Amino acid sequence: MTSRLFKVLVTHPEVPKQVLDTLKQKCEVIVCKNVPPLKSEVLEKIQGADAILWAHYQPLNGEILDAAGSQLKAVSTMSSGIDYVDIAEFKKRQMPLGHTPRAVNNSVADIAIGLMISAGRLFHEGRRMIETSQWETDRHDWLMGQEISDSTVGFFGFGGIGQVIARRLLSFDVKKIIYNTRTKKPNEADFNASHVAFDQLLSDSDFIIVASPLTPETKGIFNAEAFAKMKPNCVFVNVARGQIVDQHALYNALKKRQIFAAGLDVTTPEPLPSDDPLLSVPNCIILPHVGTSTAQTTIKMGNIAVQNILNALEGKPMVAPAY
């Protein structure tokens, strides 16, 4: 008598085919069909699942785990950040939870460097001036930007993504890399980086890159007081989570030219409404959270999530456990 295949629910239909094919070699795979995923469909199809590949950003909590049933053995997200997951609930149930942190490092680092350049050199403001016939040719100070070379770059958060960004920045001949984290990084010498207090990060940085997880401690930490401590030439870049920033305070800082410019790949909410005040300031470039949106990264994320699930179903440690 043959044993049954493990049943795995995949919550998004656009997980790459080659990722699903790997999973189908060992499991019965049920795929949700709606884009965006509907909670009602997830709750219906999740019943009896042995594992879940959570491939979207809606809340992952006790309600979902209860709907699956007591046979559920493992869950893996297909993301690096897991601020939408009720970690305490998973720990209480001793439910294995995986995520895909290292897979996103290169693509998010590329976006961060792109935002540093495009915000620092006022790409968006320049484009708007072309569109409104305000291209000026006689002023030497017109659209004067900020260079990365010989600058002090500050990181709020210096984990995997931050360190990949820092490695790329070494080739830009930056003057100094500083970072603020809860503890000093043992490998900071690899990047000629120095651990500093939060206030020093704000006051010393020509560029500030937010690459930190969203936690109760980091939520809203970049507020009006923080922006007031930054240099007037500071370029602020956020590739982490929108809620780390008080966007009204950021709007005011940009509108008053209290800081030089900002580049954002993440906002609150997402999607950002078309009438949001941040879209009205010329010195702010905003992307629609595309930091991980490359074919290579999506496949890497999917493969890690699948391996997390297969390992857990076989009684082995996940390759990327979330806790």
Least confident of 81-90, 135-144, 192-201, 252-261: 135-144
Give a yes or no: residue 318 inside a domain: no
Residues 286, 81: Cα–Cα separation, whole Å: 20
For residue 70, tell me if it sits in a domain: yes
1 assigned to some structural domain: no
74-77 long-range CB contacts below 8 Å, 24 or more apart? 74/50, 74/98, 74/308, 74/309, 74/312, 74/313, 74/318, 75/51, 76/51, 76/52, 76/100, 76/304, 76/305, 76/306, 76/308, 76/309, 76/312, 76/318, 76/320, 77/305, 77/322
Residues 135, 244: one domain? yes
Residues in the chain: 323
| Pair 117, 96 in one domain | no
Number of domains in the chain: 2
Q: Are 46 and 63 in contact (CB under 8 A)?
A: no
Residue 173 clears pLDDT 70, i.e. is over it:
yes
User: What's the pLDDT tens digit per position in 263-301?
Assistant: 999 999 999 999 999 999 999 999 999 999 999 999 999
> What's the DSSP call for residue 24?
H
Q: Which residues pair with 31 in a beta bridge?
A: 10
Beta strands 176-180 and 152-156: pairing type?
parallel
Query: Same structural domain for residues 164 and 262?
Result: yes
> Do 151 and 202 belong to one domain?
yes
Active-site residue list = 289
Residue 153 included in any domain: yes
Residue 5's pLDDT band, with cuts at 50, 70 and 90, is very high
User: pLDDT category, 138, cuts 50, 70, 90?
Assistant: confident
pLDDT category, 3, cuts 50, 70, 90? low
Q: Do 257 and 142 fall into the same domain?
A: yes
pLDDT for 137 equals 83
In a domain, 323, yes or no: no
- One domain for residues 76 and 108: no
Q: What is the mean pLDDT of residues 71-100?
A: 96
Q: What domain range includes position 146? A: 104-286
Is the predicted pLDDT of residue 2 greater than 80, yes or no?
Answer: no
- Give the pLDDT mean for 160-171: 97
In a domain, 229, yes or no: yes
pLDDT of residue 1: 39
Residue 16 belongs to a domain with what CATH number? Answer: 3.40.50.720
Q: Is pLDDT above 90 for 139? A: no
d(CA 197, CA 203): 10
- The pLDDT value given to residue 205: 98
Averaged pLDDT, 98-125: 97
Residues 177 and 208 in one domain: yes
Residues 229 and 168 in one domain: yes
| 173 belongs to a structural domain | yes
Across the chain, what does the average pLDDT equal? 96
Residue 4 is predicted with a pLDDT of: 79
The answer to whether residues 62 and 111 belong to one domain is no
Compute φ and ψ for 247, nearest 5 degrees.
Answer: -70, -30
Q: Judge whether residue 210 has pLDDT over 50.
A: yes
The reply to whether 112 and 91 lie within a common domain is no
Q: Does residue 181 contact residue 234 with C-beta atoms inside 8 Å?
A: no
Which one has a higher pLDDT value, 202 or 3?
A: 202
Instruction: Let me know: does 243 contact 268? Beta carbons within 8 Å.
Output: yes
Average pLDDT of the segment spanning 313-318 = 97
Per-residue pLDDT tens digits for 60-75: 999 999 999 999 999 9
Same-domain pairing of 241 and 115 = yes
Q: How many CB atoms lie within 10 A of CB 272?
A: 18
- Please tell me whether residues 232 and 129 are part of one structural domain: yes
